[in-house]
Chains A and B, each alone.
Chain A
Amino acid sequence: MKLVRKNTVFQILLFAVLMVGLGGLFYYNSVNLGYRWQWYRIPRYIISRNSGGSLVPGALVKGLGMTLLISFISLIFATIIGLLTAILRLSSSFAGRMMAKVYLELVRNTPLLIQILFTYFVLAPLFGMSPFLSAVISLSLFEGAYTSEIIRGGILAVPQGQWESAYSLGLSTVDTYRFCIIPQTFRQILPPLASQSVSLIKDSALVSTIAIYDLTMAGQDIISKTFLTFEIWFVVALVYLAVTIPISVLIRSMEKRISYGN
């Protein structure tokens, strides 16, 4: 008992020493490099007062708003695309299966950055799409490919007997999916879908390359004006973490809780 306790205390101490050491090394090197830390200039980019004296969101918070908005809308479309693609892949229609297959191979075998640039520079002019729409479309298509694999796995895990009883009751294919099959996939697919939404938020940083003022873009913009490079990238990374870590924690608790009856 006592031995274990002692060991734990030692481990915590060791961890603290290592962290402080790393932080110190970091700071020492930055000072050697001649970097002048100016944390006091940062708060105004998070929250500031306008001329009237009332509080308004700073540039980083506005950027975060855009990141969350794009991620949320893309998440909805990615789920719809993923569901339809999963069903197409499992359908008896050859054309449907091929379409789904081609889409999945294209999306999964090209870099997301290229997909975003392609959408913005090639598709957007052809179809008159705004940067925002380009961002949402490319992110939705990208995440939808992965979502479809998750949903397909969930559908395949539903026992064959469920299809057979739905069939012999005369239910249509759509009703069978809607009432019998899809609800049974939730337990299995919700945790990985939630993880996918964390990926989506992280991946959305790439839309800063097509002039979307998201969190990453806001960081770059502030740095180009103020040269607060180290502070701003620290804060940007922390803000991403502040959003994604709670979701990840939520997923872990969710994994234990979904069940019917009892």
Chain B
Amino acid sequence: METNPIITVSGLTKIFDGGFAALNNVSVTVDKGEVVSIIGPSGAGKSTFLRCLNGLEERDRGQIIIDGVPLDHNRKHRLEIRTEVGMVFQSFNLFPHMKVRDNITLALRRVKKIDPPRCRAIADELLEKVGIPEKADSFPQNLSGGQQQRVAIARALAMNPKIMLFDEATSALDPEMISEVLDVMKNLATEGMTMLVVTHEMGFAREVSNRILFMDNGEIVEDCDAERFFSNPEESRSRQFLSKIL
């Protein structure tokens, strides 16, 4: 069955100042509803890849099309992609001077121009969904790391994105808080959200995602079914990585 890919990346190259190629001619497509785990050693270019997808990082060569919209210098295209692609960061990046609810509703109010009562309802619904409805009026600094990251997910979801990017969303968390965030991500995956997840959680990668991109040296070394990757990886670099990490 042919499906229209929701993400099309071709020939993506990113060269940082000093001539270092963090991404080297990367091409990949992702279909709607796919949950893709991106794994690989530190410095492989995983974060850079995610950040290029929503334009947070400017690419040097190549093409990116998100849900039919090319990511180019057209401001309308860019804004459309920014709002349709949600992103969750390792360091949460909540706005510390705003209550949890205001963190979630800010973009609804300012970008989507939704009226305050409706914003409030959306925020409360999302907080319910990530399991912390009672924290709506708290400030981020009074929340645990796991709670902050769940707020960050709720905030990204508020824009009703078609794609969610997670860049090591659990790496900054204390071990006992990792599962509460992974559970939220798992639920999202079950609901059919298209997700690209940079992670070191091999359990999540294996059980929740249906596809693995193994990256090294700015390239996608292996791109295959999750189960296959863990049971019988094709590339020697993948095998080496797995033997080190498992």
Interface stretch, picked from B6-14, B80-88, B206-214, is B80-88
Would you give 25 A-B contacts (Cβ < 8 Å), ordered by A? A159-B93, A161-B92, A164-B87, A165-B93, A165-B94, A168-B54, A168-B85, A169-B83, A169-B106, A169-B156, A169-B159, A170-B79, A170-B82, A170-B83, A170-B159, A179-B95, A179-B106, A179-B110, A184-B97, A260-B97, A261-B96, A261-B138, A261-B140, A261-B142, A262-B141
Q: In the complex, A164 Cα to B159 Cα: how many Å? A: 16
- The verdict on A165 contacting B82 (CB below 8 Å), with A171-B111, A183-B97 known, is no
Besides A184-B95, A184-B97, 4 more A-B contacts (Cβ < 8 Å) are A170-B83, A170-B107, A179-B95, A262-B139
Q: Is the CB of A261 within 8 A of B159?
A: no
Q: In the complex, A52 Cα to B83 Cα: how many Å? A: 71
- The verdict on A161 contacting B89 (CB below 8 Å), with A168-B54, A168-B82 known, is yes
Other-chain contact of A167, B82, B110, B142, B152 (Cβ < 8 Å): B82
Other-chain contact of B91, A161, A167, A168, A260 (Cβ < 8 Å): A161
Q: Is the CB of A171 within 8 A of B96?
A: no
Interface: B1 (CB within 8 A): no
For the complex of A and B, list the 3 residue pairs with the smallest distance between their C-beta atoms, beginning with the closest.
A261-B139, A170-B83, A161-B93
Binary flags per residue of B211-235, CB closer than 8 Å to A gives 1, else 0: 0000000000000000000000000
Q: Is the CB of A180 within 8 A of B95?
A: yes
B residues bordering A, Cβ < 8 Å?
54-56, 79, 82-83, 85-87, 89, 91-98, 106-107, 110-111, 138-142, 152, 155-156, 159
A159 to chain B, nearest CB (A): 8
Q: In the complex, A170 Cα to B111 Cα: how many Å? A: 7
- The verdict on A168 contacting B139 (CB below 8 Å), with A179-B110, A180-B95, A184-B97 known, is no
Binary flags per residue of A146-182, CB closer than 8 Å to B gives 1, else 0: 0000000000000101101101111110010001100
- Contact partners of B106 in chain A: CB under 8 A: 169, 171, 179-180
Q: Is the CB of A168 within 8 A of B86?
A: yes
Q: In the complex, A164 Cα to B87 Cα: how many Å? A: 9
